[in-house]
Amino acid sequence: MSSLILTHTRYQMLEQMRIPISWVASAFFPAASMLAFVVPFAAADPVAATRATGSMMMIGAISAALIGLSITVSQDREQPWNHYLRTLPAGPLPRFAGRIFTSMAIMAVAVIPVLVIAALFTEAAITWPRLLLGIGALLAGSVPFMLIGLFLGFTLPSKAAIAVSQLLFFPMCILGGLFLPPQIMPDFVQALSPYVPSRGAVELVWSATTGSAADPAGLVMLAVWTVAAGVAAVWAYRRDEGRRFA
């Protein structure tokens, strides 16, 4: 089974690597947000700048996971090749895992320009172990978004997947406190915040990079979201029979 995961990961990496513009696109959005929101407003204070850098990395990861995966999966489903892949002797796991690892590779690359900007233009400070821990937290925290992306991709036609994933993306980022720190948000946003997966995910990143204590409610909800999204994604894969025109 593990060799099939490797096979599917390599296959999807090859496809991605031969279309280099997709990597540029994933790296652009977090880097641009970094320049627009973090450099002018939070550059002076080391802790605030480090936290904000973590938030921008998380925004890029959520975008790649939620929007990127839902669109590619739903578009693939409309290709005859996808029908063929489903006749091969493999269950959903190798393809799921292959997509998740490929998305993680894209995220890891998309993080590089954010880190460069943080190092050059802000007071953000971090040690190497904390940086690696932070990237680990980023990848772990993005798993529920990948699973939600897979779920949307398997249930929606591609045009709907584009719309729905964008509609989910911005509220997720705002409620999770990624654009602005949760403490300065309105009360109802603060009350809702622990219940969206983005909050738990970014808490994990903040904790890993700055050593702050993570909000336990957020972490519990992150775990709950991960399990629920995993169940939903497997269910969606099993009921999927390709696109139907009834």
Partner 1 sequence: MAVLARSAEVTRRYGDVVALDRVSLDIRAGELVGLLGPNGAGKSTLINLFVGLRRPTSGTVELFGGSPRDPLIRRHVGVTPQETGLPEVLRVAEIVDFVSAHFPDRVATPELLDRFGLGDLAKRQVGGLSGGQRRRLAVALAFAGRPKMVFLDEPTTGLDVEARRTLWDGVRSFHEEGGTVLLTSHYLEEIEALAQRVVVVGHGRVLADDTVQAVRDVVGVRRVSLVAGTLPELPGVLGVEHADGRTHLVTTDPDRLVVELVRSGTPFSGLEIRPTTLEEAFLAITSQETTSKETTSEETTSKESTHV
Residues that bind partner 1 (CB under 8 A): 3-4, 7, 10-11, 14-15, 18-19, 79-84, 86-91, 241-246
Distance, in Å, from the CA atom of 149 to the CA atom of 207, rounded to the nearest integer, reads: 25
Closest approach of Cβ 20 to partner 1, in Å?
A: 11
Residue number, 120 or 246, with CB nearest to partner 1: 246
Closest approach of Cβ 25 to partner 1, in Å?
A: 16
Residue number, 89 or 129, with CB nearest to partner 1: 89
Residue number, 81 or 188, with CB nearest to partner 1: 81
Burial track 155-167 (b if 16+ CB lie within 10 A, e otherwise)? bbebeebbebbee
User: Based on the number of CB atoms within 10 Å of its own CB, is 93 exposed (0-12), middle (13-18) or buried (19 or more)?
Assistant: middle
Q: In 10 A of CB 207, how many CB atoms? A: 18
Annotate 31-67 with DSSP letters as a single string.
Answer: HHHIIIIIHHHHSSSHHHHHHHHHHHHHHHHHIIIII
Closest approach of Cβ 192 to partner 1, in Å?
A: 40
Distance, in Å, from the CA atom of 38 to the CA atom of 51, rounded to the nearest integer, reads: 10
User: One-letter amino acid identity for 114?
Assistant: V
Residue number, 87 or 183, with CB nearest to partner 1: 87
Residue number, 4 or 47, with CB nearest to partner 1: 4
Distance, in Å, from the CA atom of 246 to the CA atom of 229, rounded to the nearest integer, reads: 28
Closest approach of Cβ 242 to partner 1, in Å?
A: 6
Closest approach of Cβ 78 to partner 1, in Å?
A: 9
